[in-house]
Amino acid sequence: MLNLELKKRANDIRKGIIEGTHSAKAGHPGGSLSAADVFAFLYFEELHVDSAKPDWEDRDRFVLSKGHTAPGLYAALAHKGFFPVEDLKTLRKLGSYLQGHPDLHIPGVDMASGSLGQGISAAAGMALGAKMKQKDYRVYTLLGDGEIEEGQVWEAAMFAGFRKLDNLCVIVDNNNLQIDGPIDQVCSPYPIDKKFEAFNFHVINADAHDFDSLRAAFAEARATKGMPTCIVIKSIKGKGVSYMENNADWHGKAPNDAEYEIAMADLDKIEKELAEEANK
Amino acid sequence: MAEQTVKKIATREGYGEALRELGAEYPQLVVLDADLAASTKTAVFGKAYPDRHIDCGIAEANMMGVAAGLSLSGMIPFVSSFAMFAAGRAFEQVRNSIGYPHLNVKIGATHAGVTVGEDGASHQCNEDIALMRTIPGMVVMCPSDYVEAKAAVRAAIEHDGPVYIRFGRAAVSVINDHPSYHFEIGKGTIVRPGADVTIVATGICVDSAMGAAKLLEADGIQAEVVNICTIKPLDEQLIVESARKTGKVVTVEEHSVIGGLGSAVCDCLCANLPTPVKKLGMQDVFGTSGPATELVHKYGLDAEGVYKSVKEFL
């Protein structure tokens, strides 16, 4: 897909994140926005998935290990056609299938997640399962940079590296912020790349908001044999919404009505710029 | 039958043997262990099916998630470790990665209860039944002998959904080796009929309950012994019927009296037929090092201990 088209998709996803969290009066916009471009890249270019057949046996799998950024995943799934976009406004509401964190009943969701550190293990299990069943689908999982403070992440990394799960692609969203502040001031997991290298991963550093960078990274991951890949994507928390960018306060807080208007104006402006770029 | 002729074998041996047998029937069966394959007996399966035996190393949290992922790939994973680590250390992984998505993962936890013996309190898990019962949709079983252990493993693989099965380290009497033996998840059995008191037991304590019933008989007391292998879902009908007949219930388990079989029986009777209940088990204490048989005696869970407690209760 053209980068311009991917940028539009990412902006749609960002709007979905704001719509969902504003409507829910809860949720996690910051980390959803930092991952919006990678959600767009995964669902509109990288993953072999079919919204008409969510349970297709040979589909690529995606596990959102940083499950609190469900608003971003849900927006991507909705725009991909797994369920209606207007349902995003039911996020977190009583009776809605769009649970606060990913749930297996949601079309397109491959694993329940949200308790940090657990998704990567399930993804490793899926990758091993593909090998055991001689299937050639790939498994992707997205982790937060704060999430990798969880010990289970390194149990899973040891397992995946040792088992040479080259059908597994771990993505770390390195926006440098967790709830209590910058990750290097809370309990630093840096250097992230060298840690995964030490666990026998092929490691690629990429720009989370540059589709050429993401495209090259995922192509390199697919071409890597004999070891799993970890792509560390350097990102901006809250990316796209002026007042949320690089602000840990927006980790788990929803915009109120006034903030919603500002956020949507920011995203409308980007949409307009993209339309102008398309007309050039 | 003379006491010395009763065959004794650990329930974990039945687990390993059942896995090996099922390996031939179920090509999707995969067994995971965390560096304890010789002890949990999954090595028996591993020897027959090395490609389907995954040693995850000493990393139980990850192992539970890997099992979840394998299940989502169409495999049927049996995950093994000691009960302390399977149900204790990895509780939240079992809850969130297996229980909440209701995945078809089976957990075979060995070395449960004080009969772990010499390793002491750090390894004697008396809390696993309580922990696993609280997870919605989780089937919880605790077989009484080798025969029942094998039957429970087969029933688990035939059941679609998460199952926790508790096995012991120590050799225990084989009590179900007869042609009429039939196993069904959720069904208890009256292993000895009686009218004066009901003794509801699970796991290795069924043998103790049978022994106690013999001692009580000498005193003219007819105890009805109920074997509850499936603690969840509980055979409420059987327990209520027996309680209605005898009017007094004693529960026996190699587990804390908080949250285990005794609590499950009390929950059932409170709601259906309020009946006096005495709960035998670990009385809110940690275990200690020692030989299994001496520990079972110390905590009053052998035939003599159960006999004494029943006499006091009546």
Residues A195-250 pLDDT 10s? 999 999 999 999 999 999 999 999 999 999 999 999 999 999 999 999 999 999 99
Rounded Cα distance between A192 and B197, Å, is: 64
Q: Which residues of A touch B70 (CB under 8 A)?
A: 125-126, 128-129, 132
pLDDT at B5: 65
Handedness of CA B263, B268, B271, B275 (dihedral sign): negative
The residue among A134, A155, A199 with the most chain B CBs within 10 A of its CB, best to mutate, is A155
pLDDT at A45: 98
Q: Which residues of B touch A61 (CB under 8 A)?
A: 72
Do strands B197-201 and B171-173 pair parallel, antiparallel, or not at all (unpaired)?
unpaired
Size of interface A-B (CB pairs under 8 A): 108
Type of residue numbered B26 = Y
pLDDT at B202: 98
The residue among B33, B66, B98, B102 with the most chain A CBs within 10 A of its CB, best to mutate, is B66
HEC sequence for A187-253: CCCCCHHHHHHHCCCEEEEEECCCHHHHHHHHHHHHHCCCCCEEEEEECCCCCCCHHHCCCHHHCCC
* ipTM of this complex: 0.96
Question: Does residue B81 belong to the interface with chain A, where contact is any CB pair within 8 Å?
Answer: no
Rounded Cα distance between B269 and B249, Å, is: 10
Type of residue numbered B243 = A
Catalytic residue selected from B3, B17, B60, B224: B60
Could you give the domains of chain A? Answer: 38-236 (3.40.50.970)
pLDDT at B1: 43
Q: Which residue in chain B is spatially nearest to A126 when comparing CA positions?
A: B69
Rounded Cα distance between B85 and B92, Å, is: 11
Rounded Cα distance between B205 and B211, Å, is: 10
Are B75 and A132 in contact (CB < 8 Å)?
Answer: yes
Q: Which residues of A touch B92 (CB under 8 A)?
A: 115
pLDDT in tens, chain B (314 residues): 444 567 899 999 999 999 999 999 999 999 999 999 999 999 999 999 999 999 999 999 999 999 999 999 999 999 999 999 999 999 999 999 999 999 999 999 999 999 999 999 999 999 999 999 999 999 999 999 999 999 999 999 999 999 999 999 999 999 999 999 999 999 999 999 999 999 999 999 999 999 999 999 999 999 999 999 999 999 999 999 999 999 999 999 999 999 999 999 999 999 999 999 999 999 999 999 999 999 999 999 999 999 999 999 99
Question: Does residue B56 belong to the interface with chain A, where contact is any CB pair within 8 Å?
Answer: yes
pLDDT bin (cut points 50, 70, 90) of residue A51 is very high
Q: What is the pLDDT of residues A141-188, one digit of tens each?
A: 999 999 999 999 999 999 999 999 999 999 999 999 999 999 999 999
CA-based nearest residue to B296, from B251, B230, B231, B252:
B252
HEC sequence for B8-40: EEEHHHHHHHHHHHHHHHCCCEEEEECCCHHHH
Are A125 and B96 in contact (CB < 8 Å)?
Answer: no
Rounded Cα distance between A279 and B155, Å, is: 65
pLDDT bin (cut points 50, 70, 90) of residue A261 is very high
pLDDT at B2: 44
Note whether B94 and B107 are within 8 A (CB): yes
pLDDT at A11: 98
Rounded Cα distance between B158 and A137, Å, is: 28
Q: Which residues of B touch A57 (CB under 8 A)?
A: 74
Name the minimum distance, in Å, from the CA of A93 to any CA of chain B: 19
**Three-state secondary-structure class, residue A57:** coil
Note whether A71 and A20 are within 8 A (CB): yes
The Cβ-side half-sphere exposure at A70, using a 13 Å CA radius, reads 32
Note whether B83 and B166 are within 8 A (CB): yes
pLDDT bin (cut points 50, 70, 90) of residue A1 is confident
Name the minimum distance, in Å, from the CA of A168 to any CA of chain B: 12
Question: Does residue B266 belong to the interface with chain A, where contact is any CB pair within 8 Å?
Answer: no
Tell me if residue B92 is catalytic: no
Q: What is the pLDDT of residues A72-97, one digit of tens each?
A: 999 999 999 999 999 999 999 999 99
Are B97 and A122 in contact (CB < 8 Å)?
Answer: yes
User: First and final CA of chain B: distance in angstroms?
Assistant: 28
Note whether B146 and B11 are within 8 A (CB): yes
Note whether B134 and B71 are within 8 A (CB): no
Residue B82 DSSP label? E
Note whether B306 and B212 are within 8 A (CB): yes
